[in-house]
Chains A and B, each alone.
Chain A
Amino acid sequence: MSEPLLTVENIHTAYGLSRVLFGISLEVKAGECVCLLGRNGVGKTTTMRSVMGLTPPASGRVVWKGRDIAGRTPHQVARAGIGFVPEDRRIFPELTVWENLDVAARAGGRRGHWTIETVYELFPKLEELRNRQGGFLSGGEQQMLTIARTLMGNPELLLLDEPSEGLAPLVVDMLREKIGTLRDQGLTILLAEQGVEFCLALADRVYVLEKGAVRHSGPAAELRDNKELREQLMAI
C-alpha cells in the first residue's frame, strides 16, 4: 500500500535532563486525520516539537516522505511541508492580523491553495479583524489566526496542538467544524487533544499516550463504539 507520509520511529526526547518521550512510534498516511490523545504532560506537545525540529529527539527517526528529517532545523522542516500550530498560539502580538498572515507566507515560501483570500474565506472573521494587532484578539480569534497563519505556508501535514484548549464551547464547536472542513478537503492532520469528544469527532485513527509512550493505538471508530475501552484508557 501507500507509504505513510510521516513515520515517527522510536523517538526519545528530553528537555535537558528531564526525559519526556520514551520511544514513541507512530505513522500518518496522506489524507488521514490522526489524533494523539492524552492528558497534560504525557508528551503530546513534545512529540510535535520533536517532529518539527524544535526539540530534536535524542534518538530515533522522523521519516517524512521517505527521508529522515530528525536533526533538521524547524525552518527546513516547515519548508519540507509540515505546518505547526502551537498550543499557546504564539501570535506575533504587535503585528496586525494581516501582517501575521503575510509574514507566514513569506516565511513558508510555499505556494499553493492557501493565500490571504482563501484563509479569509475559511475564517471570515479574520478579514473583519485584519487591521487589529494580534495581541488584542480574543482567545478564539487568536486560535483562528494561528491556524490560518500556518495554512499560509501551504503545508501537506498540519500539526495541530490542542486547538480547543481554554476556549468557550461555542468557539470549540466552530473550530471543530473548520478543522473538519480542512480534513474533508484532503489535508493530512495530526491532532493533539485532551478532549475525547473533540478527538473522536475528527480523527480516523487514535494514539493514546501515557507517560511519554504509546499506550494504545487503533481506529477512532473502535473507541467511539467501545465505551468500556474508552473508559479504561481515559482512566489512566
Chain B
Amino acid sequence: MAPSFLFSQFMGGLTTAMFLFLIASGLSLVFGIMRVINFAHGSFYMLGAYLAWQGVQWFHPTGPGFWAASLFAACGVGVLGAVVERLFFRSLYGREELYQLLFTYALVLILGDAAKFLWGTDQLSVSTPPVLAGSVQIFGSTQPLYNLFIMAIGPLIAFLGWLVLNRSGVGRMVRAAQMDREMLDALGANVGTIYTGMFVFSSFLAGLSGALVTPIQSIVPGMDVLIIVQAFIVVVIGGMGSFWGTFWGSVIYGEVLSFGILIFPGFSLFSVFALMAVILIVRPWGLFGRPL
C-alpha cells in the first residue's frame, strides 16, 4: 500500500477521533464528576445539529452565518442542559444507575420525537463555511481544510480543559466536588451550582459538536442513537470519567475504525467492538480509568 494512502487513512481516523472526542468528553465529564450516565447526551448532540441548521437558515443560508449558527446551537443546547439539570437530573444524583438510564432514555425518546415534529424526517444539510471549503495536499493526499479544523479543535479543547481543571481555582473546586461532594458542601461551597455548571458545559460541548458535524454529515433522525453508542465505546475504552482516557479512547476508536476497514471490509465496526471486548477483559475500568 502506498504511504500516501496509509497517511490518508490515518488522517481520516484522526478526524473521526477528534470529532468523537468533542462529544465523548462531555459524557465522560458528567459521569466522572456527578456519577450520572447521561444517555441523552447524543440527543443533545442531535439538537445541536438541528439548531445549527435552523440558525443557518435564519442568519445567512449561504455560508458565513455558519459560525454564528454554531454558537447559537451550542448555547441553545447549553440552556436546555441547564433546564434539564435543574428540573430533573437533580433528583437522580446518588440514585441507582437503573433510574438514571431509564430517565435519560425517556429523554432520548422525547427529544427524538420533538426533533421529528419540529424539523421533519427529511435529511437536512449545511454547506461548509467558505473559509474552510478548500483542501490542501499533504504527503500526496488531499485533505479537506474543514477536517483539519476539526482535528485541531479536539486537542485544543483537551488542552484547555486540562489547564482549567488542573491549574485554576474553578478546576480545583470541580475536582474537590468529584472527590468528596459532602465535605466540599460543609466547607461552604454550593455544590449544586458547580454540578449545574458542569452539566451546562457538557451540554454546550454536545451542542457544539452537533453543529460542527453538519458540514460533513447530513442531519437525520437517529443520529442521536448512532453517536451515543460510539461515544460510549470511546468512554469505555478510555475509562469513564478520565479526561485523557477519553482523548486516547477517541484516537484508538478512530484509527481502529479507519484501518479496520482495510482488514475486514464491511465489518469495520467489528474491529472496534472486538477491541472494546479485549480491553474490558484486561482492564474492566478502561485504559485510563480507575476501578470504581
Question: Which of these, B173, B175, B180, B182, contacts A106 with CB under 8 Å?
Answer: B173
Known: A102-B172, A103-B173, A106-B173. A95 touches B179 (CB 8 A): yes
Contact status A108-B188, CB under 8 Å: yes
Q: Kindly name the residue among B169, B180, B186 whose own CB sees the greatest number of chain A CB atoms within 10 A.
A: B186
Let me know if B188 and A75 touch, CB within 8 A: yes
User: What CA separation (Å) do A76 and B187 show in the bound complex?
Assistant: 10
| Interface 9-mer from A86-94, A121-129, A137-145, A173-181 | A86-94
Specify which chain A residues have a CB less than 8 angstroms from the CB of B191 in the assembled complex.
Answer: 75
A39 part of interface (Cβ distance < 8 Å)? no
The reply on B4 being an interface residue by CB < 8 A is no
Instruction: Find A78's partner among B169, B180, B187 (CB 8 Å cutoff).
Output: B187
What B residues does A106 contact at CB under 8 A? Answer: 169, 172-173, 189
Which of A54, A79, A86 lies in contact with B188, CB distance below 8 A?
A79
Q: In the bound complex, what is the Cα–Cα distance between A153 and B187 (angstroms)?
A: 7
Chain A residue numbers with a CB within 8 Å of B189 are 75, 103, 106-107
Shortest Cβ distance from residue B100 to the other chain A in the assembled complex, whole angstroms: 22
Q: How far is B188's CA from A110's CA once the two chains are assembled, in angstroms?
A: 9
Contact pattern, A 68-82, Cβ under 8 Å of B = 1, otherwise 0: 000001110111000
Known: A102-B172, A103-B172. A78 touches B186 (CB 8 A): yes
Given the interface contacts A74-B182, A92-B180, A92-B183, does A109 sit within 8 Å of B188 by beta carbon? yes
Chain B residues lying within 8 Å of A86, measured Cβ to Cβ, are 183, 186
Known pairs A103-B187, A107-B187, A108-B187; A54 contacts B182 (CB<8 A): yes
Judge if A104 is at the interface, Cβ distance under 8 Å.
yes
Query: On chain A, which size bracket covers the interface?
Result: 20 to 34
Q: How far is the CA of A102 from the CA of B176 in the complex (A)?
A: 11
Is B184 interfacial (CB-CB < 8 Å)? yes
Most buried by A among B179, B180, B188, B190: B188
Give A150 to B180 CA distance when docked, in angstroms.
15
Q: How far is the CB of A135 from chain B (nearest CB, A)?
A: 9
CB pair B186 A74 closer than 8 Å: yes
Q: How far is B182's CA from A77's CA once the two chains are assembled, in angstroms?
A: 13
A27 within 8 A of B: no
Q: Is the CB of B187 within 8 A of A150?
A: yes
Asked if B97 CB lies within 8 Å of chain A CBs, one says: no
CB of A189 closer than 8 Å to a CB of B:
no
> Is B113 at the interface (CB under 8 A from chain A)?
no
Q: Could you tell me the distance between the alpha carbons of A224 and B187 in the complex, rounded to whole angstroms?
A: 34
Q: A207: CB under 8 A from chain B?
A: no
Bound CA–CA A84/B180 (angstroms): 14
Given A90-B183, A94-B179, A103-B184, A75-B172 contact (CB < 8 Å): no
Select from chain A the residue with minimum beta-carbon distance to B183.
A90
Chain A residues with Cβ below 8 Å from B179 are: 92-95
Contact A94 B188 (CB under 8 A): no
Q: How far is the CB of A79 from chain B (nearest CB, A)?
A: 5
- B176: which A residues are within 8 A, CB to CB? 92, 95, 100, 103, 107
B187 partner residues in chain A, CB cutoff 8 A: 75, 78, 103-104, 107-108, 149-150, 153
Task: Enumerate B181-224 residues with CB–CB distance to A below 8 Å.
Answer: 182-191
Which A residues are in CB contact (< 8 Å) with B175?
Answer: 92, 94-95
Using CB atoms, name the residue of chain B closest to A134.
B179
Least CB separation from B179: chain A residue: A92
Chain B's nearest CB lies how many Å from the CB of A174?
A: 24
Task: Closest B residue to A99 by CB, please name it.
Answer: B172
Nearest B residue to A104, CB-CB: B187
Q: A75 near B169 (CB under 8 angstroms)?
A: no
The reply to whether the CB of A191 lies closer than 8 angstroms to some CB of chain B is: no
Distance, CA A107 to CA B182, complexed state (A): 12
The verdict on A199 contacting chain B, using a C-beta distance below 8 Å, is no
User: For the complex, is A52 an interface residue (Cβ under 8 Å from B)?
Assistant: yes
What is the minimal beta-carbon distance from B167 to any residue of chain A, in angstroms? 11
Smallest distance from the beta carbon of B62 to chain A beta carbons, Å?
47
> Which chain A residues lie closer than 8 Å to B173 at the CB level?
103, 106-107
Residues of chain A within 8 A (CB-CB) of B190 are 73, 75
Give chain A nearest CB distance to B284 CB in angstroms.
22
User: Would you give the shortest CB distance from A87 to chain B, in whole angstroms?
Assistant: 12
Q: Is the beta-carbon distance between B185 and A74 smaller than 8 angstroms?
A: yes
Closest 6 CB pairs of A and B: A107-B189, A78-B188, A107-B187, A108-B188, A90-B183, A74-B185
Question: Can you list 6 contacts pairing A with B, beta carbon distance less than 8 Å?
Answer: A54-B182, A84-B186, A99-B172, A106-B173, A107-B184, A107-B189
Interface residues of B (CB under 8 A from A): 169, 172-173, 175-176, 179-180, 182-191
